Amino acid sequence: MRRSRTPAELVQAEPGPAHTIDFDGQPVPALPGQTIAAALWADGVLAWRTTRVGGRPRGAFCGIGACFDCLATVDGRPNQRTCLLPAEPGTTVTTQEGHGRADLDV
């Protein structure tokens, strides 16, 4: 039998108190040092971007900043890699549609 443990339990980490970030108008809990992508995943959010062609949902893929699937609009700035950005208290994240820049629409 296998016991399910979190990564924090495995390394006996004791993170500071949780705070929240805002995702599409909803609070999402985040731990100190956690990335935005990790906080969204932990809250059950799997997609926070749609592709330019076809509008397909995307979320984190590589988790290390090598791909661009985890792009979102963070604090009003489009095309931010959420797997690299810390989930700071009060951060506002919105689902990014397409390229995230209305001024670039053709």
Question: In whole angstroms, what is the distance from residue 104 CA to residue 101 CA?
Answer: 5
Q: Which option is the CATH number for 16-98: 3.90.76.10, 3.40.50.720, 3.10.20.440, 2.60.40.10?
A: 3.10.20.440
- Given a cut of 60, is residue 7 above it in pLDDT? yes
Among left, alpha and beta (phi > 0; psi -120 to 50; other), residue 59 is: beta
Q: How confident is the model at residue 106 (pLDDT cuts 50, 70, 90)?
A: very low
19 three-class SS: strand
pLDDT for 103: 55
- Identity (one letter) of the amino acid at 64? I
Question: In whole angstroms, what is the distance from residue 106 CA to residue 91 CA?
Answer: 30
- Tell me which of 102 and 18 has the higher pLDDT: 18
Q: To which H or E segment does residue 14 belong?
A: none
- Please compute the mean of the pLDDT values over residues 76-87 and round it to a whole number: 94
- Closest to 20 in 3D by CA, of 91, 83, 76: 91
| Least confident piece of the model among 13-22, 56-65, 92-101 | 92-101
- Please compute the mean of the pLDDT values over residues 51-69 and round it to a whole number: 86
The whole-model pTM stands at: 0.80
Question: In whole angstroms, what is the distance from residue 50 CA to residue 96 CA?
Answer: 6
- Given a cut of 90, is residue 94 above it in pLDDT? yes
